Amino acid sequence: MPNFKNDLLLRAARGETTPRTPIWMMRQAGRTDPEYNKLKETSGLPLHELFCHPELAAQISLLPKRIGVDAIIYFQDILTPLAPMGAAFAFNSGPEFEKDFQSTDALDALHLYDVADELPFIPETFRLVYEALDGELPVLGFAGAPLTLAVFLIQGGSFGKRADRFSAFQQEQPEALRGLLDKLTDMTIDYLRLQIEAGAAAWQLFESAAYLFTTDDYREFALPYQQRIFDALRGSVPTIMFARDWSDLDTLNASGADILSLAATPSIAETRHRLGADRVLQGNLDNRLLVTGSKVEIAEAARECIRQGEHRGHIFNLSHGLLRETPFENVCHLVDVVKNTTFAEI
């Protein structure tokens, strides 16, 4: 692992005390940033092609550097590694697959592949980002968790508060679902290993569909596959587990990740009371507050989050990604507040 001029995030990831709490945000390179929207428009490329364009993806990845974040997360989509399996997709109002994956035959046809051969733009994007950073900041990798990828596939694209097509498949074809999850797990391990070899200084697993499931379903269809991924890649770089709107700390902790990314609740203090004072955590300002809150409310909530984290084994982030309607000035304000709340102030 290279030495970075700003290594606060990696020090926090190891559980160390830091002079201030490092910050990055999920979806920090994207739709809330007017510079991103301008670049996307002038490129003339649809979103799914932007992901495969290393030069543009690198430019987008680097945009949040100007507002002072402590890590860059490379610009990509969690669905990207599905395309070479036989699940090509495009973005309209959201992602849409070219094929229907509600049948077992369609799912059986999905295949593993050589990630280096099929996804050469991934390491090239990392190379260009690191070249531009010149040792200043670490770059984070990520992947969608197998269950979340399965929901996207079977649902046929985006989902909201319900995923009825997936739910029906889960109930009617549980063994077929397990077979799909096995295949997606193997692919995800290879995909993350590619990112680590390309220089990912840490990586996050996104269980973005967690909120759709009961605890029992999560234990059966999410947790074992998360554990396989973290076990396979243990000891390489710090790892982060994120489960959207998921408050069951036992299942989150059982993933095997080095760092747990918290939803809006429970709080950092409650989590450490339950899991241990030294548990390394990420989070957990409510992403909706950045949309509706005043600058004073945002600052107060951010400082309380930092106070509970104690500048020790704590990476500041949101409960989930930046929402499309988030004012960019609020994003910049949050970063300024976090960076200017020092150890002496908590």
pLDDT digits (tens, 9 = 90+) for 127-154: 999 999 999 999 999 999 999 999 999 9
Q: What local confidence, expressed as pLDDT, does residue 344 receive?
A: 64
Beta-strand pair 95-97/202-207? unpaired
Domains in the chain, ordered, with CATH?
A: 31-279 (3.20.20.210)
**Helices within 268-320 (DSSP H only):** 268-275, 289-292, 295-309
Nearest to 341 by CA among 302, 312, 297: 302
Q: What are phi and psi of 121, to 5 degrees?
A: -70, -15
Measure the CA–CA gap between 333 and 298, rounded to whole angstroms.
Answer: 8
Q: What local confidence, expressed as pLDDT, does residue 171 receive?
A: 96
Average pLDDT across the chain, whole number: 96
Q: What local confidence, expressed as pLDDT, does residue 346 receive?
A: 59
Measure the CA–CA gap between 161 and 270, rounded to whole angstroms.
Answer: 27
Q: What local confidence, expressed as pLDDT, does residue 18 receive?
A: 97
Q: What local confidence, expressed as pLDDT, does residue 322 receive?
A: 97
Measure the CA–CA gap between 230 and 259, rounded to whole angstroms.
Answer: 11
Q: What local confidence, expressed as pLDDT, does residue 93 receive?
A: 77
Q: What local confidence, expressed as pLDDT, does residue 185 receive?
A: 98
Parts of the chain with a pLDDT under 50: none
Cα end-to-end span (Å), the chain = 31
Torsion, Cα 127 137 32 13, to 10 degrees, reads 110
Half-sphere exposure of 66 (CA within 13 A, CB side): 11
pLDDT in tens, 173-204: 999 999 999 999 999 999 999 999 999 999 99
Q: What local confidence, expressed as pLDDT, does residue 1 receive?
A: 67
